[in-house]
Amino acid sequence: KIRRIGARRGVIMATGGFGRDIEYRMMQLPELNSDLDSTNHAGATAEALKQMMLIGANPIHLDQIQLGPWASPDEKGFGTASQFNTIATYPHGIVVDVRTGERFFNELADRKARADAIMTRRDEKGQPVYPIGFTNAAGASKAQTLDWGLKYKVISKAETLDELAAIYGMPAKALKAQVERWNEAVKSGIDKEFDRPMQEAIVLDQGPWYAVRMWPKVHYCMGGVKVNTQSEVLHLVSNKAIPGLYAAGEATGGIHGASRLGACAVAEGVVTGRNAGRNCAAAKPTELKQS
């Protein structure tokens, strides 16, 4: 049944981003096509954003879309690999190009730099060539999703580097040489190849090895509608508050810039949400214009 719900004080749009809306996100960044899955739920689409824009909301930073560089193409959504790579691979392991067995970026760079680097791994036809991230048992000791990743065959286990190379079709000799160079870097405390911080790096001198194929997923939309400090949505032309319209969380834009720092979305949601709720509840009842 179709139901009409009236609002006397206001409407709060806490509708999230549009990470699942492939058509709309490609309008902002054409390279974010169907090659990339998303960590978001199925309802993370642009309909609510468009409705706000239709009544004058000012969209800002819509082309600033963050990719999660820790995801795997071998599972849907956020999955098990994301936690494994965050806890194990990135701080205690390395990521290599499957074709060369060699590293190609700083594994502890910011999210955008890492995702951009991984996205360069493509064949002559432009198709993804998924890099391999791996560590050993010591590096994976605190990875809570290791068992689940192994169960669902997202994470592979190998007793030796030769076995690991065979699983993913990597050149074993080059892979072992890369691991040797990495171990020397750990012992010296200096990564001469990519200037990676080495505080959490460990020597990878024995198996078993745990590895995962990697490819970024659309994770967070830094863009959304412009709001003021009261969480009121501002009009595109007048830059004044649209009466009765508030926005909170990922539906808002302009807070994070080009690369949101991890966990800051929680603070954004709390602050803008409380502002929106407090100010909407305090607003005088009025007849909001129906659109």
Q: Bridge partners of 234?
A: 241
Stretch (H or E) spanning 265: helix 264-282
Owning domain of residue 41: 11-66+219-282
Total domains in the fold of the chain? 2
193 is a domain residue? yes
Residue 179 Cα distances to 84, 102, 160, 176, 208, angstroms = 20, 9, 12, 5, 14
Note whether 190 and 253 are same-domain residues: no
Domain annotation covers residue 288: no
Alpha carbons 184 and 113: distance in angstroms, whole number: 25
Residue 150 lies in a domain: yes
Say if residue 163 is in the same domain as residue 236: no
pLDDT at residue 259, rounded to an integer: 80
Pairing label, strands 224-225, 65-68: unpaired
| Active-site pick, 25, 103, 111, 260 | 111
The pLDDT of 251-263, averaged and rounded, is 87
Q: Is residue 43 part of a domain?
A: yes
Closest CA to 155 of 170, 140, 142: 140
Question: What's the predicted TM-score (pTM) here?
Answer: 0.88
Using the predicted structure, report yes or no on whether residue 254 has a pLDDT greater than 60: yes
Segment 179-215, tens digit of pLDDT: 999 999 999 999 999 999 999 999 999 999 999 999 9
Q: Point out the domain boundary residue: 198, 215, 232.
A: 215
3 within some domain: no
- Please say if 111 is a catalytic residue: yes
